[in-house]
Homo-oligomer: A and B are copies of this chain.
Amino acid sequence: MRERLFRTAPYTVDAVLVTAMGNELAILLVRNSSERERWSLPWRIPQTGETLEAAATTVAKDALGELPTWVEQIGAFGDGKRHPSETDVSVAYLGLVPHETAAPRAGYAWFQAADLRPLAPRQRAMVEGATKAIQSSLDQAPIAFRLLPPTFTLSELQQMYELLLDKRLHKASFRRALQAAWLVEPMDEWRSEGRGRPAQLFRYLPKKKRRAHRGVRFDFLYP
């Protein structure tokens, strides 16, 4: 391969940092330094030797001061769409952050998915990719737990699932499935949240591979 010189930086790493705010998902944006009314996803050009994932966590740390509880690559985006940087391609990462620990630094702010600021086309595609990734790996990975504090009530957990699935769930069925999966462990603590009966606190209980050995489901989404 002949060596050439390239004018643009090789690529950027962009982070779609997601938290649950109120009853919606929210995404972290950073205010553009030149045009003050423009916002964008936080991004960075990796240093030489820096891995992609390390670049993504650095972006997150610069924005929030904390590491996300879950980091996952969404993919590479390019295809001619505009980006704040001049690069052809950006690698997008999804980062999950529990809302309690997610105080944005100056210049950064959470925007609920419904009233997001206009983004450059490539970053818009990344946000869509991130929400799709959340939906599709929701029952493959402990997404919901990574958006909650380490201990939580089952009602909180159910609300989180309802938010992520955008669907109401039946309490008894939800708990039955939860029990069958051995996913949570009860603590010896209860929390009284104003009105009704106090709720027991639980924590996520990571488990050894218990592969669900089911038949085919054919839950196709695409044409």
Contacts and interface: CB of A to CB of B under 8 A. Distances in A.
Given A5-B6, A216-B165, A219-B214, A80 B49 contact: yes
Count of chain copies: 2
B6 A220 contact: no
A13 to B, nearest CB: 9
Nearest to A215: B173
B218 A177 contact: yes
A139 interface: yes
B91 A76 contact: yes
Contact of A183 (B3, B6, B220): B220
Interface stretch (A24-32, A148-156, A202-210): A202-210
Q: Which of A89, A178, A209, A214 has most chain B Cβ within 10 Å?
A: A89
15 contacts: A1-B86, A5-B7, A46-B88, A52-B76, A74-B75, A75-B75, A76-B76, A76-B89, A140-B221, A167-B213, A181-B219, A181-B220, A206-B223, A209-B221, A211-B221
